[in-house]
Amino acid sequence: MSTRTPHLPFPLYRRPARDAGRKMPWSCLLLAPAASAHVLDPSTPAPSWVSWSFDPLVLAALGASLVLYVLGYRQLRQRSRAGARPLRARQAAAFLGGWLSLGVALVSPLDGLGAALFSAHMVQHELLMIVAAPLLVLGRPLGVWVWALPARWRKRVGTALRWRPFKVAWDGITTPVGAWLMHAAALWLWHMPALFQSALLHPWIHTLQHTSFLASALVFWWTIFRHPGGAALLSLFTTMVHTGALGALLTLAPDLWYPLYVEPSAALGIDALQDQQMGGLVMWVPGGLAYFASALVMVARWLDERHASTPSRSPSPAPEVP
């Protein structure tokens, strides 16, 4: 396959011919969303590619997280005052929404379809980073999970969290700048053609990719909600800009970035370059709108709090008429 001088910060490949899916030696793709591998073979029926994924590790992690949350929530609800229970219920609803989003991204047919179509893969990434991550952070799962443990274990967890090296590292990555840099680095590095295609070929690399996306997004949104001020608004705005720029590069690129998608997308009757453009649009438009909407919500809450803290002035009594 011929190459050309790149128009972008990293090498691109020329758009393959329409029959390249038949000529290229891509016999199969191995993809590993969240520790699961998908073998793509154009000779197999397309419905088998988009079946549900029942990877034992994924199911075990999702099941354990839900059971621990339910047990911890029951403990906290019994200890909470009646006035605090509505807040606990809202946090539980947020966690459940994030948990279901993880299920859609990692267990539903979207998982297998992401191995065949770049656009589906981008939907999966957006679900992890801008849907599941903020909802999970709002659900406060760490504090709830701890209450599901026996008292002796809770004490040990508290001691571990107070360990100085851990606190220093945590304080460093959860500053607005640290969280922003980690999230941006994960996005741009993993979309470089060499790394992205390595994730398509090696299950453990794909697991690392999804883990870094979710972990960096959790830290990013935790920092946003932890410091809901000017720094959070700046982080949201600049993230909207640089993710939109990456989406625009994918959408407007005249060449194919990830040739490994040629054969599986052709087997589904979809042009690989058009599929790449759809994936770029997913990152560019819905992704950017999510960050923009979050910033608007934060501004609205800030205005409400400022209005509530402003003392109301009672009108001066009218002078008496003699």
Alpha carbon distance, N-terminus to C-terminus of the chain = 99
The pLDDT, as a whole number, for residue 309 is 67
pTM: 0.79
Q: Could you report the per-residue pLDDT of 72-126, keeping only the tens digit for each?
A: 999 888 887 777 788 889 999 999 999 999 999 999 999 888 888 999 999 999 9
pLDDT greater than 60 at residue 1:
no
Segment (H or E) for 247: helix 230-252
Give 240's contacts (C-beta < 8 A, 6+ positions apart): 287, 288, 291, 292, 295
Number of H helices, E strands in the chain: 16, 2
The type of residue at 78 is: Q
Identify the three-state secondary structure at position 287.
helix
Identify the three-state secondary structure at position 47.
helix
Strands 30-31 and 38-39, how do they pair? antiparallel
Residue range 306-318: mean pLDDT, rounded:
58
Q: Could you report the per-residue pLDDT of 189-227, keeping only the tens digit for each?
A: 999 999 999 999 998 999 899 999 999 999 999 999 988
pLDDT greater than 70 at residue 263:
yes
Q: Looking at 121-273, which runs of residues are DSSP E strands?
A: none
The pLDDT, as a whole number, for residue 213 is 96
Give 320's contacts (C-beta < 8 A, 6+ positions apart): none
Segment (H or E) for 31: strand 30-31
Q: Could you report the per-residue pLDDT of 130-165, keeping only the tens digit for each?
A: 999 999 999 999 989 999 988 888 888 888 888 888
Q: Which two tokens stand for residue 79?
A: 């200890």
257: Cα within 13 Å, side-chain hemisphere: 29
The rounded mean pLDDT for the chain is 81
The pLDDT, as a whole number, for residue 310 is 64
Q: Could you report the per-residue pLDDT of 162-180, keeping only the tens digit for each?
A: 888 888 888 888 899 999 9
The pLDDT, as a whole number, for residue 13 is 36
Q: Could you report the per-residue pLDDT of 235-254, keeping only the tens digit for each?
A: 999 999 999 999 999 999 99
Q: Which two tokens stand for residue 270?
A: 């979809």
The pLDDT, as a whole number, for residue 43 is 47
| Count of other CB atoms within 10 angstroms of residue 191 | 20
Identify the three-state secondary structure at position 127.
helix
Q: Could you report the per-residue pLDDT of 272-303, keeping only the tens digit for each?
A: 999 999 999 999 999 999 999 999 988 888 88
Domain locations along the chain: 30-309
Identify the three-state secondary structure at position 3.
strand
Q: Could you report the per-residue pLDDT of 9-57, keeping only the tens digit for each?
A: 333 333 333 333 333 322 222 233 333 434 344 444 444 556 788 888 8
Residues in the chain: 322
